[in-house]
């Protein structure tokens, strides 16, 4: 029997598989898994209480989930969906960012005005960095020297030096900053402000110091401006296109990341929240919290091409690259 | 928590003026009054103060990055002592005062401290935003007019356009009933009948009170004209909570009971509200009240203005708060701002049944050239307020 299990395990591991999309469902306490080539839902598994932030290890083998109401990070195997271990996170972890080498995890503790730094290998808390009220958005510079945290009630982006775990710069942004996103070359940073309705744009110098260079705002005919609430954001790796989820307006804005002009609005599901690219950036996925689905956007044509039902109140989305 | 670490991490912030010491106070006026009908509404010792403390904590967490220091003093005063209480605060150099009181005491404080910035976190009287407005007073608490309009819009959206208005007999009840009649006219609702329930000093919470209530209330509201809903105007908290289950004709009740227009409540979890609730409950060990939220909103508005201007001068802050550059996230799904013509904060009104928000006004379809929020309460062309020159 044991041999048989081993054999099948070997078989499973050796079989090529497509990209897998993982969606955290805040209200159903689950993660939905979707096949990235057929768009079929493969399964939905329990992921702890109020799963929100979600990411994968650089090798694609581990899935990290902020289980906000469990006050910890749960780590799952991306193939078997089994829980491998948990990581201490500090109270109410909402969003996090993993160092590019996969070692340190930076977690926003929404209730405690802290960013907790956790070593994913020793499972130890390395530092707690005091930040503003209701920390949420997390980003890391591509050279891993600066972690950016946004605090929603303080209305700042805090730039944390990852060597000393202290704040190096603070930049005021508009009301309720939700998300921060670096370009892949690290020279530009975007910070969305949900209630302010804007995206602040910073140029980043060689030392990681920010200079505000512009602010993007949004306008859709027939939609009340207060519903255009920027939340999640993703920029293409060539630094050309910035996609911004606009929450209750049910739209994703397509912004020229160089000129900062809004080029297009793509209609998606209701209360669009977070975004993720598929590995080759062919598609952009959006979580739609009120329609309980995700929308697939074709990046080249900037069109929504399909929607896929998931669990209740989908929050975050990430894609684990497939194995060929 | 981690104060020593915090002082080390004061880091540079671009484009912000110098550090400020922001000394504020909250005066809560203690009125002699009967116990509330429901013991859920008993006043706590830290009522309104806890909301002010949370705001000061929030402001200080932000202020540490900019070198600002926020402090708030609590003052509980008898109605007769409010002027001396305000004078004492002024003598201590405090120029920003939150007032959790009724209209008379609010005005007494405002007129005694004309060089101070007064933040109304309690008095809903519409006249305070109209003929009785003061240049040095900003209003966080939504006016009765805004609340009545919020109820009327929802009622119209539901096509419940025939109101049976049941009001109390005290002046405040009569005034609240007037607000509902005005709102009815504004939104095309028909008040088919108005009836008074006389405040005779009833049995309230006595052991057999419910027996009397069960016999008396139906008789007082029997055989009304055909109506869709009952609007309760009971500012004195005498009878309204009994109405929903003691009507003659079973109808939904809105206003002072049933579905109530409120600025906030402990059930609100949308728009990041959960985080506010968690922070408040951790600080105070109880659920939030409107008095707490209004006080929180007052000092958060001050904090936001300090952070954006780098000033603690009340006149600079007032100017900024009334400008187009001011906006604040207040856990209501859209930025809240001040009306330039009377200093009232525009904000959504929650329609709360005691457990959940059944709806939030303004309702869809009520349009306005500036902001849908200005469909609630007196709009610029209608205002009687003369103290706010543009």
pLDDT digits (tens, 9 = 90+) for B332-372: 999 999 999 999 999 999 999 999 999 999 999 999 988 99
CB < 8 Å to B278, chain A? 92, 111
Percent of chain B with pLDDT over 90: 84
**B254-293 per-position pLDDT tens digit:** 999 999 999 999 999 999 999 999 999 999 999 999 999 9
Substitution target in B275, B297, B299, B337 with the highest count of A β-carbons within 10 Å is: B275
How confident is residue B38, by pLDDT bands cut at 50, 70 and 90?
confident
Model confidence at B76, in pLDDT bands (50, 70, 90)?
very high
Contact B65 A110 (CB under 8 A): no
Statement to judge: residues B15 and B135 lie in one domain: yes
Full domain range(s) for residue B166: 145-261
Q: Is residue B37 predicted with pLDDT exceeding 90?
A: no
Whether B6 shows a pLDDT value over 70: the answer reads: no
Q: Which of B202, B231, B261 is the last residue of a domain?
A: B261
Q: Are residues B33 and B160 in the same domain?
A: no
Distance CA A126, CA A114 (A): 13
DSSP state of A321: P
B212 and B289 within one domain? no
The answer to whether B294 touches B263, Cβ cutoff 8 Å, is yes
My answer on whether B136 and B211 are in the same domain is no
Question: Does one domain contain both B302 and B278?
Answer: yes
The pLDDT assigned to B36 comes to 86
Same domain, B114 and B22: yes
Q: Is residue B68 part of a domain?
A: yes
A167 in B contact zone (CB under 8 Å) = yes
Q: Is B66 on the interface with A (CB under 8 A)?
A: yes
What pLDDT is attached to residue B7?
39
Statement: residue B120 has pLDDT above 90? yes
The CA-to-CA distance between both ends of chain A, in Å, stands at 29
Mutation site, B1, B6, B9, B274, interface A, largest A CB count within 10 A: B9
Q: Establish if B359 belongs to a structural domain.
A: no
Looking at the fold, whether B239 and B275 belong to one and the same domain comes out as no
Residues B15 and B138 in one domain: yes
Closest Cβ–Cβ partner in A110, A166, A172 for B16? A172
Strands A125-130 and A135-140 come out as unpaired
Give the 3-state secondary structure of residue A261: coil
pLDDT digits (tens, 9 = 90+) for B348-357: 999 999 999 9
How far apart are alpha carbons A214 and A260 in whole angstroms? Answer: 8
Residue given tokens 């009833």 in the structure block: B202
Q: What are phi and psi of B5, to 5 degrees?
A: -65, -40
Residue B59 forms part of a structural domain = yes
Last residue of a domain, one of B261, B295, B318: B261
Residue B382 located in a structural domain: no
According to the model, what pLDDT value does residue A74 have? 97
CA distance A190 to chain B (A): 17
Looking at the domain assignment, is residue B370 inside a domain? Answer: no
Quick one: average pLDDT of B51-76? 96
Q: Is the same domain home to B317 and B271? A: yes
pLDDT per position in chain A (324 positions), as tens?
A: 555 555 555 445 445 678 999 999 999 999 999 999 999 999 999 999 999 999 999 999 999 999 999 999 999 999 999 999 999 998 889 999 999 999 999 999 988 899 999 999 999 999 999 999 999 999 999 999 999 999 999 999 999 999 999 999 999 999 999 999 999 999 999 999 999 999 999 999 999 999 999 999 999 998 988 899 999 999 999 999 999 999 999 999 999 999 999 999 999 999 999 999 999 999 999 999 999 999 999 999 999 999 999 999 999 999 999 865
Q: Which of A170, A196, A224 sits opposite B65 (nearest CB)?
A: A170
Report how many domains make up chain B.
2
Nearest Cα residue to A22 out of A70, A49, A46, A55 = A55
Last residue of a domain, one of B229, B261, B293: B261
For chain A, what is the mean pLDDT?
Answer: 94
Same domain, B251 and B192: yes
Residue B384 inside a domain? The answer is no
Say whether both B20 and B102 belong to one domain: yes
Span B148-167, mean pLDDT? 98
Same domain, B307 and B235: no
Mean pLDDT of B158-175: 96
Asked whether residue B336 is assigned to any structural domain, the reply reads yes
Give dist(CA B373, CA A159) in Å, integer: 36
Predicted pLDDT of residue B74: 98
* A106, A97 Cβ separation under 8 angstroms: yes
| pLDDT of B14 higher than 80 | no
Interface test with B, best of A113, A195, A204, A223 (most B CBs within 10 A): A195
Cis amide leading into B362 (omega within 30)? yes
Residue B22 · residue A179 · CB < 8 Å: no
What is the pLDDT at residue B148? 98
Q: Report the CATH number at residue B117.
A: 3.40.50.2300
Domains of chain A: 17-320 (2.130.10.10)
Q: How far is residue A66's CA from residue A72's CA, in Å, rounded to a whole number? A: 6
B368 is a domain residue: no
Angle of helix B290-309 relative to helix B273-284, nearest 10 degrees?
110
Q: Which residue has the tokens 């402090």?
A: B71
């Amino acid at each position: 029997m044991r041999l048989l299990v081993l054999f099948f395990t070997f078989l499973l591991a050796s079989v090529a598989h497509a990209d897998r999309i993982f969606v955290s469902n805040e209200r159903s306490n689950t993660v939905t898994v979707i096949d990235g080539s057929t768009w079929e839902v493969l399964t939905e598994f329990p992921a702890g209480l109020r799963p929100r932030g979600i990411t994968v290890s650089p090798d694609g083998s581990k899935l990290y989930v902020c289980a906000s109401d469990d006050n910890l990070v749960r780590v799952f195997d991306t193939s078997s969906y089994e829980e491998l271990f948990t990581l201490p996170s500090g109270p109410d972890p909402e969003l996090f960012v993993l160092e590019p080498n996969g070692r340190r995890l930076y977690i926003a503790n929404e209730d405690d005005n802290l960013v907790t730094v956790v070593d994913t290998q020793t499972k130890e808390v390395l530092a707690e960095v005091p930040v503003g009220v209701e920390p949420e958005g997390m980003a890391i510079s591509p050279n891993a020297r600066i972690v950016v945290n946004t605090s929603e009630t303080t209305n700042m982006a805090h730039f944390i030096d990852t060597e000393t775990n202290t704040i190096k710069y603070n930049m005021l942004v508009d009301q309720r900053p939700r998300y921060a996103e670096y370009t892949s070359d690290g020279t530009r940073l975007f910070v969305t402000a949900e209630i302010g309705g804007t995206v602040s744009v910073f140029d980043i110098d060689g030392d990681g110091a920010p200079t505000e260079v512009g602010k993007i705002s949004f306008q859709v005919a027939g939609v009340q401006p207060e519903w255009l609430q920027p939340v999640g954001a993703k920029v293409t790796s060539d630094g050309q296109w910035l996609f911004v989820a606009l929450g209750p307006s049910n739209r994703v804005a397509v912004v020229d990341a160089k000129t900062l002009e809004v080029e297009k609005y793509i209609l998606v599901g209701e209360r669009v929240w977070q975004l993720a690219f598929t590995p080759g950036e062919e598609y952009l996925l959006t979580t739609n919290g009120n329609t309980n689905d995700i929308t697939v956007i074709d990046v080249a044509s900037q069109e929504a091409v399909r929607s896929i039902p998931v669990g209740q109140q989908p929050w975050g989305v990430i894609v684990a690259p497939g194995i060929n | 928590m981690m104060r020593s670490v915090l002082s080390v991490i004061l880091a540079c912030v671009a484009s912000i003026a110098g550090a400020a010491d922001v000394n504020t106070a909250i005066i809560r006026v203690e009125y002699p009054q009967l116990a509330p009908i429901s013991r859920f509404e008993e006043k706590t010792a830290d009522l309104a103060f806890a909301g002010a403390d949370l705001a000061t904590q929030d402001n200080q967490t932000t202020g540490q990055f900019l070198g600002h220091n926020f402090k708030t003093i609590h003052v509980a005063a008898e109605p007769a002592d409010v002027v001396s209480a305000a004078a004492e605060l002024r003598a201590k150099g405090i120029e920003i005062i939150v007032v959790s009181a009724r209209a008379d005491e609010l005005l007494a404080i405002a007129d005694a401290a004309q060089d101070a910035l007064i933040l109304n976190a309690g008095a809903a009287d519409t006249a305070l935003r109209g003929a009785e407005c003061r240049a040095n007073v900003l209003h966080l608490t939504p006016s009765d007019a805004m609340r009545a309009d919020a109820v009327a819009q929802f009622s119209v959206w539901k096509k419940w356009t025939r109101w049976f208005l049941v009001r109390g007999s005290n002046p405040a009840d009569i005034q609240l009933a007037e607000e509902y009649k005005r709102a009815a006219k504004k939104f095309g609702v028909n008040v088919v009948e108005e009836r008074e329930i006389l405040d005779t000093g009833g049995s309230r919470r006595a052991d057999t009170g419910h027996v009397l209530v069960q016999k008396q209330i139906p008789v007082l509201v029997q055989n009304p004209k055909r109506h869709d809903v009952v609007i309760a105007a009971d500012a004195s908290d005498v009878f309204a909570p009994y109405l929903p289950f003691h009507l003659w004709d079973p109808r939904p009740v809105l206003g002072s009971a049933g579905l109530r227009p409120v600025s906030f409540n402990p059930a609100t979890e949308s728009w990041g509200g959960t985080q506010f609730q968690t922070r408040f409950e951790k600080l105070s060990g109880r659920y939030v009240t409107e008095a707490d939220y209004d006080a929180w909103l007052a000092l958060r508005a001050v904090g936001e203005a300090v952070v954006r201007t780098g000033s603690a001068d009340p006149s600079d802050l007032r100017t900024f708060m009334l400008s187009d550059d001011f906006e604040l996230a207040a856990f209501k799904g859209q930025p809240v701002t001040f009306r330039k013509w009377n200093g009232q904060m525009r904000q959504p009104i929650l329609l709360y049944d005691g457990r959940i928000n059944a709806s939030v006004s303004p309702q869809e379809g009520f349009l306005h050239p500036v902001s849908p929020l200005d469909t609630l309460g007196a709009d610029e062309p209608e205002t009687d307020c003369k103290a706010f020159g543009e």
